[in-house]
Structure 1
Amino acid sequence: MGIRGLSQLIADVAGTAVRHMEIKHLFGRKIAIDASMSIYQFLIAVRQADGGVLTNDSGQVTSHLMGMLYRTARMVENGIKPVYVFDGKPPALKGGELSKRSERRQQAEESLKTATEQGNQADMDKFSRRTVRVTAEHTAECKRLLTLMGIPYIEAPCEAEAQCAVMAAKGLVYATASEDMDSLTCGSTILLRHLTYSEARKVPIAEYSLPRVLELLELTMDEFIDLCILLGCDFCDTIRGVGPKRALEFIRKHRNIETILENLDPKRYTVPENWPYKEVRELFRSPEVTPVADIELKWSSPDEEGIVKFLVTEKGFNEERVRSVIQRLDKARSDSTQSRLDGFFKVLPRAPADKAAANKKKPSAATTTAAKKAKSLKTGAGKR
């Protein structure tokens, strides 16, 4: 879910912190991708004609593998070097949000059952998507496919978004690719939204610059984290009655949550009981991640026969189509030897002018007078 209302708040107050682009403009970039979110998107978006998840003849779900294969290949074809990051254990503070999601999924399953009994196809499709859950099997199969494709992946000790953010902040990758705005709260200097489905849905990629966001919102990073907690996140409730604009107003005036609480009108605003905002703040400031120094990223050639065995023999994919994708991957790797220009050139501060140039001898008074006289004679001749 990310941070409630943050994208709209940035659009309203710090719009120039976001630029929109086509995927080709990311040529040569290393990008960390939230794998679990990608798999979830694939399970929702890659569907059969009747709206159900994509399956093979044996009834095995294949939506996640189809999405991972084709969208990763498209990124590689556009010169991107993707690295997928998988979630580890969820933070203890996320337990409440996970329980809510489970309840919503149960309600969707009951509604799906009713829609099926009534033969309501529109509701069947809608509630079917709401029951989607990424399983350990989906994750394991995607990891296997990525290995065969020669694409690196990382298993985060905790939240994938936090791991991606640290990798971006430390310069191991250019950006985090996720739909959740809390990638910015975790410190990702660049956030890319809509990367994995921009072409399919004809939606431009949105690039958020965290330094620019902070500048335009007139906040420090610590103040921005407190703003995000006020807006609402996966880890705690927020103050009832405080919307996005009021939250920004409070942070700009009081600079932190403690001072806001000291000056809050209890008749107008309700603070959650036992509100763990301090613990959440620390979770955003110092998330549990694998140190960047311990991460090695390596992209390699795809294992053609291994991919064919997995997807065609075991999962029932069309062999001609699979081999076509592998050929595209091979060609993209051979074409990717070209690098971005900013990888070769570094912008340096302007050096002080050479003393000889700085102290360049000015023309003497006699020289200047002679020049003026010559110009005068020339002008007079022209008039005659």
Structure 2
Amino acid sequence: MDALTFGTPRLARHLMAPSSQNKDILEIQLDRVLEELDVSQEQFIDLCILCGCDFCGRIAGVGPTTALKLMKEHGTIEEVVKHLEKKASKTIPDPYPFKEARELFKSMDVLTGEQLPELKWGNVDEEQLVKFLVGEKSFSEDRIRKTIGKLKAAHGRSTQGRLESFFGPVTVKPATKRKEPPTKGTAKAVKKGKLGAVGKKPK
């Protein structure tokens, strides 16, 4: 969902959900979200930070409904924090780097296709990956190591299948010839031996 906070115009959810879950694909349009919530993109970013994000702690007791109400009343997260600091029932996390989090959402570190080096699949350098994601990007080390384990297990398996493989094989049953009901009196005639099996008089 944080793709919307980064500014993606459309978000598709449940695209690859298992068929057993019977979930419809949900398309979310950012402009409609902002219109329905009656906030700007900048306020939407502040709203998402208030609800909790990967870059910043969460204020206890402030969920989506309260966060939206506070954002509409005070306009920015700075003013919301000032308001909440006056309430003894609300404790602001320390540290609470909402400004840095906001800047990450507004000015994400992105490389264009031309800037990317040639990518080759090789063995996972576990310690370097942990150093980068945990040390520099503040991810959970336990979560990263579990994901690395999955990558190692997947290495060497078959390549990605074709799109139709997700939907299973299509089987077509052969058409069966519909039996015509016997005409009146035919069944009795066959039983008495007056008619053959194909409905004709035996010679």
TM-score range, shorter chain: 0.5 to 0.7
Amino acid at match of 1:269: K
Given candidates 36, 46, 49, the residue that maps to 1:226 is 46
Question: What percent identity do the matched residue pairs reach?
Answer: 41
Write the letter of the residue equivalent to 2:100: E
1:260 aligns with 2:80: yes
CA positional deviation for 1:273: 1.0
Runs of 4 or more consecutive aligned structure 1 residues displaced over 4 Å after TM superposition: 292-295, 314-317, 325-329
Q: Is the 8 A contact 1:198 1:204 kept in 2?
A: no
Unaligned runs of 5+ in 1: 1-180, 296-313, 330-384
User: Shift of the alpha carbon at 1:291?
Assistant: 3.1
Shift of 1:293: 7.1
Q: CA deviation at 1:195?
A: 0.5
The 3 A distance-change label for structure 1 pair 198 and 210 is farther
Structure 2, unpaired ranges of 5+: 117-155, 166-203
Does residue 241 of structure 1 match 2:52?
no
- The 2-side partners of 1:327 and 1:257 are apart by 44
Aligned residue for 2:42, secondary structure, equals helix
Query: Aligned residue for 1:288?
Result: 109
Q: Measured at CA, do residues 326 and 258 of structure 1 come closer, stay the same or move farther in structure 2, by a change above 3 Å?
A: closer
- Structure 1 residue 256, shift from structure 2 partner: 0.5
Tell me the secondary structure at the aligned position of residue 246 of structure 1. helix
Aligned pair in 2 of structure 1 residues 188, 293: CA closer, same or farther (>3 Å)?
farther
Partner SS for 2:21: coil
Secondary structure class of the residue paired with 1:230: helix
Cα deviation digits, residues 237-272 of structure 1 (max 9, x gap): 121221211100000111111111222233121101
* TM superposition shift of 1:203: 1.0
Over 3 Å counting, the alpha-carbon distance change for 1:293 and 1:262 in structure 2 is: same
Matched letter for residue 74 of structure 2: H
Aligned residue type for 1:286? S
When the two structures are aligned, how many residues end up with a matched partner? Answer: 125
Q: From the superposition, tell whether residues 215 and 274 of structure 1 become closer, same or farther in structure 2 (CA, over 3 Å).
A: same
Q: Secondary structure at the match of 1:263?
A: helix
Letter of the aligned partner of 1:235 in structure 2?
A: F
Give the Å deviation of 1:199: 3.4
Deviates more, 1:196-205 or 1:281-290: 196-205
Change (3 A) 1:327 1:213: closer
Q: How does 1:1-384 map to 2 (within 5 A)?
A: 181-197=1-17, 199-264=19-84, 265-291=86-112, 315=157
> Greater CA radius of gyration, 1 or 2?
2
Change (3 A) 1:281 1:327: closer
RMSD: 2.8
Larger relative contact order (Cα-Cα within 8 Å, sequence gap ≥ 6): 1
The residue matched to 1:191 in structure 2 has which SS? strand
Deviations 1:183-212 (A, max 9, x none): 111111111111112535321111111100
Which has the larger share of helix? Answer: 1
Q: TM-score, normalised by structure 1?
A: 0.30
| Secondary structure of residue in 2 paired with 1:237 | coil
Amino acid at match of 1:253: E
Question: How high is the TM-score relative to the length of structure 2?
Answer: 0.55
